[in-house]
Chains A and B, each alone.
Chain A
Amino acid sequence: MTNEHAIEAFGLVKRYGEKAALGGVDIVVPTGTVTAVLGPNGAGKTTAVRILSTLSVPTEGTATVAGFDVTTHPTEVRRRIGLAAQDATVDPLLTGHENLVMIGELHQLPRKQAKARATELLDQFALSDASSKVASAFSGGMRRRLDLAATLVARPQVLFLDEPTTGLDPRARNDLWEVLETLLGEGVTILLTTQYLEEADRLADDILVVDHGKVIAQGDARSLKRQVGGDNIGVTISDSSRLDDVVEILRRVTGADPIVDRPARTATAPTTGGVAGLAAVANALAEADQEVEDLSLRQPTLDEVFLTLTGLPLDGDDDPEPTPRTPEEVTR
């Protein structure tokens, strides 16, 4: 493969009637790298993936994947991509092995090769035991792993993962991250969508933050965090009457206005100082003889990223069910 960019999309617009699910998006992904599209429900993430994976035709704009135009040469694109849709689309009535063999055969592998590849992938995804079990009996995490294995059957050049870990419990999510991390060194180009900054941070070389069908920020995790003011230091104390002293300490050390949560006896302030900042706060608290229940340095949440980038709080981030905001969600 000689293309410098495995994905090149310019000015992608998708309108459903009056409403625009995508309002002019550029996506360029260098071959062999991972790009995350980060945003809340209804931001247009799925619409972008559907266009790039040939499932949906853009209203305006052009896109090239693995060297072929998605609207004029969809079959050539399909031969070179793997797609894991948001709701794992494994066939619930087929076994793990049958699912992978069918996908392999539809990727035009000879039956023998498709069977061998299916066995190999089930083994590598730790699904051998479930090989002859129907997919409807799988756990959520197993179904996602099978779905991911299915996308790899034909050794794609470009992989699309639409919210690969949404709806998984933390343990299954971590397992899947480990699986995805092993793929990073293989030379596959990956475009993944996610609602979790942590996920984008852990897996992606480049992050596109989208909201309401537009890219509102782009960069690697570090530069995005700089835009939102680095990490947060959080202090929780046991005696709520002394919270004002803690606020004073935080303001003095970080130079920023802390956010106070009185019922939780917690004060939080952004810092650019990293561990040194944390140490300074810890020393100041010790000198003031504060009884500290919890002291933490943590990444900003997606909510805080959004608050900084858009000035608006991110809605529905605690809601595990998709909250329809644009026709993208309605028509799916």
Chain B
Amino acid sequence: MTAPTTSETALVIDAAPRSDADLHPPRGVLHDTWVIARRGLVHMKRQPEQLSDATIQPIMFVVMFAYVFGGAIAVPGSQNASAQRYREFLMGGIIAQTIVFTAFGVALSIANDRKNQAVDRFRSLPIARGAVLGGHAVANIIKALLPIVLMSITGYIVGWRIRGSIVDTIGAYGLMIGFSFAMIWVGVLLGSLVATPEGVTGIAFAALFPITFVASTFVPLSKLPEPLRTFAAWNPTTTLSDGLRELFGNPNTPVKPGDPWSVAHPVAYTWIWVIGVVAVCAPLAVRAYQRSIAS
């Protein structure tokens, strides 16, 4: 077939309808989910600000915090402020912050889909149930894991080491994925309830910054004044950061008698949050999403 380049050339468009007998059988929810996830990854590649969020920014954060605050913040357990100890302390927190922000990425991609009417296009296609949300989830987990890998490499260069056992290390990565999964539902809920990408950005920054900063993300809990300390002690970002530090065998705030249960058992407490958030947010999020796309 030749390409018609001018309107004088007779157009040939092969659009003979496919008969019922020739229809392609459904290829399943995993296939459809992956097709939509790939689109999310291409989106990241094509948007400079998203690409920098996932690559340059995490590297910058590690380097900046490690060298700017490294000498100033004493991590409990040692007498003096040691930059090396702070850098090891920092990694658990910075990874936790990235994972919490997964919710923002999901919410933004869902709001953008509605803005660009991609939702209607998808709904007119024979896609397996749940594949659109599944695709957003998979793409955003990958978007969260990419910076974690880059930060791990950067962290290694500036002196961070995994000192825990293999089982604990697997537990640490399992906790990261579990928490990302929970954040996806928070993101779906937020993206479905807030109509515009701009609104999502506003709410995410108003809510996510306090949650990730009033925590042991960048400074040990003992350095925080009351009442911020009490909030931070029960903040899952704190226990995710501390849980990762514990599992990686990195410096951490030593647990004292009388500390809240959450601080004494960060890994268990974080998993309770993961299960709680998924149990509550997932059904609400699916319902909110269905309502947001229906008309």
Contact = CB atoms under 8 A, between A and B. Distances in A.
A241 interface: no
B17 interface: yes
A154 to B, nearest CB: 7
B27 interface: yes
Interface in B1-25: 1, 3-5, 7, 11-20, 23-25
Given A89-B117, A124-B12, A157-B17, A105 B7 contact: no
A109 B126 CA distance: 11
Interface string A40-74: 00000000001001111100000000010000000
Contacts of B36: 106
Interface string A151-186: 010111100000000000000001100110011001
Given A106-B35, A124-B14, A55 B126 contact: no
B35 A183 contact: no
Given A126-B5, A154-B24, A155-B16, A107 B120 contact: no
Contacts of A55: 120, 123-124, 295
A54 B124 contact: yes
Main secondary structure of the interface of B (DSSP, over half): loop
B26 interface: yes
B223 interface: no
B46 A93 contact: yes
B109 to A, nearest CB: 11
A212 interface: no
Contact of B116 (A82, A91, A102, A103): A91
B11 A178 contact: yes
A75 B128 CA distance: 9
B49 to A, nearest CB: 13
B3 A81 contact: no
A170 to B, nearest CB: 13
A179 B20 contact: no
Contact of A85 (B1, B13, B35, B120): B120
Contacts of A85: 117, 120-121, 124
A157 B21 CA distance: 12
B43 A93 contact: yes
Contacts of B19: 1, 157
A54 B26 CA distance: 18
B117 A106 contact: no
Interface residues of B, number: 43
A65 to B, nearest CB: 11
Contacts of A87: 117
A174 B8 CA distance: 13
A252 to B, nearest CB: 43
Interface residues of A, number: 56
A219 B4 CA distance: 35
A123 B3 contact: yes
B39 A102 contact: yes
B17 A155 contact: yes
B242 interface: no
Contacts of B125: 78, 103, 106-107
Interface in A18-47: none
A123 B1 contact: yes
A108 B27 contact: yes
A108 B124 contact: no
Interface string B102-130: 00000000000000111011111111000
A164 to B, nearest CB: 14
Contacts of B294: 56-57
A183 B13 contact: yes
Nearest to A105: B35
B128 to A, nearest CB: 9
Interface of A: 1, 50, 53-57, 67, 75, 78-83, 85, 87, 89, 91-94, 98, 102-103, 105-110, 120-121, 123-126, 128, 134, 150, 152, 154-157, 174-175, 178-179, 182-183, 186-188, 331-332
Given A89-B117, A102-B39, 18 more contacts: A55-B123, A80-B18, A82-B124, A87-B117, A93-B46, A93-B47, A103-B121, A107-B125, A108-B26, A121-B13, A123-B1, A124-B3, A126-B3, A157-B18, A175-B7, A182-B12, A183-B13, A188-B17
Cβ-closest 8 pairs across A and B: A108-B24, A155-B18, A83-B124, A78-B126, A89-B121, A157-B17, A79-B126, A89-B117
Interface of B: 1, 3-5, 7, 11-20, 23-27, 31-32, 35-36, 38-39, 42-43, 46-47, 116-118, 120-127, 294-295
9 contacts: A1-B17, A55-B120, A79-B24, A79-B126, A80-B23, A106-B36, A109-B24, A123-B1, A187-B17
